[in-house]
């Protein structure tokens, strides 16, 4: 007999009727009346049984680095806090800088605060203060060329206090909806369930109506893998993961973790929504993610320890890992064969791990 415990995801959506229930490899799947989303509860030991993972140092960068990607021709593409050029291609063997692009600064054609994202062979650099972005093909950068460099200033999002995550999508732009948010207790709700919004062909987004300014708590990570036909959305402070169809943007799967992030939300008098942890230290939550055709990774911190989950695109847990207490790596990247991952430590040290 399978005993079903009401999950936070179920409570959040006021689901009342359970129609199908199967247990597969320790993962609980549930479908509900009038809802085609598959709700999954990860095994109870998904976090507690995580295996310790150790890495080897690849290189140490001389400056604060936001992102690093190793290419198949033994080069490293970095986005760094350089006071000259922000994007650099480095020879992995010698450490020499082979190519640089994208000027730092407040002037026209420059970027003031680079915020890198990937999708999946495209480097996206967003500049929140200037509300602009630029795309680079990783193969072109590895070949020491930036290719066409067009700085895009999307329309229709100027009211946002923080630049939302934006990705290229079929000649348009796909953005996280900065106002798609509902607090677990339902007290803060913009009543907008569209996780993603699309621009038109002029790169302009529709105007959105909202009661609460929720962009601070509705950012998260987006893992878009067209070859898998899927997009994973990882909320920053909620203990669940959502999987969407890449073509229709329809939510397919909602995965609940067997832990509850000790976070709570409140709104200021002017509607700005903030988050704080109920426990000492930084808020529990997801840090980063990445994926390939067969699976995806998501990294989270819980009670001061960083964990990494490996799941297939059907929502099944494949393995889980934990880092040494106090380690808080960032910027997951994958080797071409999927056997290794790379992580940044202290925004200076690039390390390789075997999965």
pLDDT digits (tens, 9 = 90+) for 93-122: 999 999 999 999 999 999 999 999 998 899
Q: How far is it, in rounded angstroms, from Cα 287 to Cα 298? A: 8
Query: Does the pLDDT value for residue 165 go beyond 80?
Result: yes
Name the strand (E) or helix (H) holding 245.
strand 240-245
Sheet holding 75-80, edge to edge: 65-70, 75-80, 85-91, 97-103
* The pLDDT of residue 23: 35
* The pLDDT of residue 345: 96
Give 3-state DSSP helix, strand, coil % of the chain, rounded to 5: 5, 50, 50
pTM for this model (two decimals)? 0.88
pLDDT band (50, 70, 90) for residue 29: low
Query: In the numeric block, which tokens belong to residue 223?
Result: 């893992």
* The pLDDT of residue 81: 87
Query: In the numeric block, which tokens belong to residue 318?
Result: 């494949």
The residue-averaged pLDDT of 16-24 equals 33
Burial of residue 154 (number of CB atoms within 10 Å: 0-12, 13-18, 19+): buried
The residue-averaged pLDDT of 312-319 equals 97
Query: Does the pLDDT value for residue 74 go beyond 50?
Result: yes
* The pLDDT of residue 212: 94
């Amino acid at each position: 007999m399978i005993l079903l415990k009401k999950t936070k995801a179920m409570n959040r959506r006021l689901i009342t009727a359970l129609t199908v229930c199967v247990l597969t490899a320790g993962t609980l799947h549930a479908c509900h009346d009038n809802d085609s989303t598959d709700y999954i509860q990860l095994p109870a030991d998904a976090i507690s049984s995580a295996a310790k993972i150790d890495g080897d140092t690849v290189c140490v960068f001389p400056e604060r680095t936001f992102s690093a990607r190793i290419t198949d021709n033994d080069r490293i593409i970095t986005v760094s806090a350089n006071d000259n050029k922000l994007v650099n291609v480095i020879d992995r063997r010698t450490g020499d800088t082979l190519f640089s692009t994208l000027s730092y600064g407040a002037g026209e054609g420059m970027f003031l605060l680079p915020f890198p994202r990937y999708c999946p062979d495209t480097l996206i650099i967003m500049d929140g203060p200037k509300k602009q972005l630029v795309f680079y093909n990783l193969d072109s950068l590895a070949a020491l060329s930036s290719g066409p460099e067009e700085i895009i200033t999307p329309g229709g999002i100027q009211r946002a206090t923080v630049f939302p995550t934006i990705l290229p999508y079929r000649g348009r732009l796909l953005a996280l909806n900065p106002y798609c948010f509902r607090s677990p207790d339902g007290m803060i709700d913009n009543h907008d369930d569209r996780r993603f919004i699309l621009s038109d062909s002029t790169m302009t987004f529709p105007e959105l109506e909202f009661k609460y300014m929720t962009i601070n708590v509705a950012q998260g990570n987006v893992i878009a893998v067209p070859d898998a036909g899927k997009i994973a959305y990882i909320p920053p402070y909620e203990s669940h993961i959502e999987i969407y169809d890449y073509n229709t943007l329809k939510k397919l799967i909602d995965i609940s973790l067997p832990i509850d992030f000790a976070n709570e939300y409140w709104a200021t008098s002017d509607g700005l929504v903030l988050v704080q942890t109920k426990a000492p230290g930084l808020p529990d939550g997801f840090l980063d993610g990445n994926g390939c055709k067969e699976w995806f990774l998501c990294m989270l911190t819980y009670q001061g320890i960083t964990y990494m989950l490996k799941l297939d695109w059907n929502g099944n847990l494949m393995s889980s890992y934990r880092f040494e207490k106090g380690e808080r790596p960032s910027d997951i990247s994958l080797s071409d064969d999927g056997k290794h991952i790379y992580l940044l430590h202290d925004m200076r040290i690039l390390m390789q791990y075997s999965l």
